[in-house]
Amino acid sequence: MKKLVVFILSLSVIAIAQTISEVNSFAAPFKNYGWAGNRKIKGWTCGGDASIKEYFVRLTPDRQSKSGFCWNDKPLNSNKWLTTVKFRISGQGETLFGDGMTIFFTTQNVHTAGPMHGSNDKFIGFSVDLSTYRNPEYYRFHRDISLYVGNNTSESAYYPDREHEGCFSSYRFYEKRQDFSVENAARIQISYDGDLQRVVVRSDHNNRGYYDDCFSAKVDLPAEWWRNAYIGVSASTGDLADNHDVLEISTVVGVSSLENEEAITQKEREDAFRATLAGLLKEEGLEAEKLNPAELALASLVKALSDAELDELEKLKRELEHSMSCREGGNVET
């Protein structure tokens, strides 16, 4: 069954599978453990208040004064890439919440603590900041998604009190809504083109399956800085708080756009389904060619029902894990 699930998931990225950089990506479920019995993600260092669950990484719980991070240990070493981050920022606060999460692409090969949602704000590279707290001191400059560019390690790249590239996006979820679900998530797509010296950001604020344009900005960075560029993500809370969860980071190197991705036709999906079904039947000692239409239809129905049951079971496990994580964090309504 696991092979089948992996196969089906691979269909959605079949046209770009050869370029996905596994060493610069991760996705749940997280099944690996360290010597102390804690979950770990190969190629990534997570620390601070971050906690790796089976289905997500919780950078911060919905508690005050928390900070957590995950940092990639392999450089991108490409002048073009596209990174998609699936995340969930949610909490018990209806009108008061914060602070936010930042995604870094910098020459820092390890995490260093600092004021930029838990990370150092002096770097070479750029960061995309997701800020849910609208500070009244510089409210007019606030953007829900912001770009900050650093050209050296002696000056801060973080200036939320000035004009900067960004856009508005309603990616935060209120957990006391009756329709809140662990399935709630958002995606942000960040691309860099070194030839054009341009960063493009698009957002899918409720995981609908398509993206809205956020901004396209020219960035002035040192030549070949990207050879030693690392991905990092961190989040922090202050007097206000939220759960900051990362579910997936997917990086494609060598391209800065997937607009030319070859679409998978319905026929290709059907052919893949039949091939997979035939393989599963063969494992049971059956040959699809020898089944009559009724038997083949029944086998297809059984597989579809099995997949649906598996999906429901996985969803229940995710719901339970999210609920237990909230209890561990102490943000349980009494």
Instruction: Render pLDDT for 211-255 as a digit per residue (tens, 0 to 9).
Output: 999 999 999 999 999 999 999 999 999 999 999 999 999 999 998
Q: Which residues of 208-238 are buried (b: 16+ CB within 10 A; e: fewer)?
A: eeeeeebbebebebeeebbeebbbbbbbbbe
Asked if 130 and 103 sit in the same domain, the reply is yes
| Residue 84 shares a structural domain with residue 194 | yes
Domain ends where: 200, 229, 260? 260
| Among 212, 233, 260, residue at a domain's last position | 260
Predicted local distance difference test score (pLDDT) of residue 307: 63
Other Cβ atoms less than 10 A from the Cβ of 142: the count is 16
Domain check: are 172 and 279 in the same one? no
Q: What three-state secondary structure class fits 144?
A: coil
What are the C-alpha distances in Å from 318 to residues 156, 184, 248? 39, 11, 14
The pLDDT value recorded for residue 105 is 99
pLDDT of res. 151 = 93
Whether residues 245 and 283 share a domain: the answer is: no
> Quick one: 161 and 282 in the same domain?
no
Beta bridge partners of 57: 52, 246
Q: Are residues 106 and 120 in the same domain?
A: yes
Residue 173: pLDDT above 60? yes
Q: Do residues 181 and 224 make contact, with C-beta atoms less than 8 angstroms apart?
A: no
User: Does residue 277 surpass a pLDDT of 70?
Assistant: no
Question: What Cα–Cα distance (Å) separates residue 286 from each residue in 197, 272, 277, 289, 301?
Answer: 56, 18, 11, 9, 16
Question: Phi-psi bin for 292: left (phi > 0), alpha (psi -120 to 50), beta?
Answer: beta
* Residue 74, number of CB atoms within 10 A of its CB: 15
| Residue 146 to residue 114: CA distance in whole angstroms | 18
211 and 69 fall within a common domain? yes
User: pLDDT digits over 22-71, tens only?
Assistant: 999 999 999 999 998 999 999 999 999 999 999 999 999 999 999 999 99
287 pLDDT exceeds 50?
Answer: yes
172 and 239 in one domain? yes
Structural domain ending residue among the three candidates 260, 280, 314: 260
Helix, strand, coil percentages in the chain from 3-state DSSP, rounded to 5 = 25, 30, 45
What is the structure's pLDDT at 300? 62
Work out the pLDDT band at 325, boundaries 50, 70, 90: confident
Looking at the fold, whether 234 and 279 belong to one and the same domain comes out as no
pTM of the model: 0.78
- As a whole number, mean pLDDT of residues 245-274 equals 69
Alpha carbon separation from 228 to 21, 41, 220, 251, 258 (Å, rounded): 15, 21, 16, 16, 24
Are 237 and 279 members of one domain? no
Task: Please tell me the total count of domains within the chain.
Answer: 2
- Domain of 289 in residue numbering reads as 1-16+263-334
| Contact yes or no for 10/319 (Cβ under 8 A) | no
Residue 19 has pLDDT above 90, yes or no: no
Sheet holding 166-167, edge to edge: 44-48, 67-72, 230-236, 100-106, 124-131, 145-151, 166-167
pLDDT value at position 95? 92
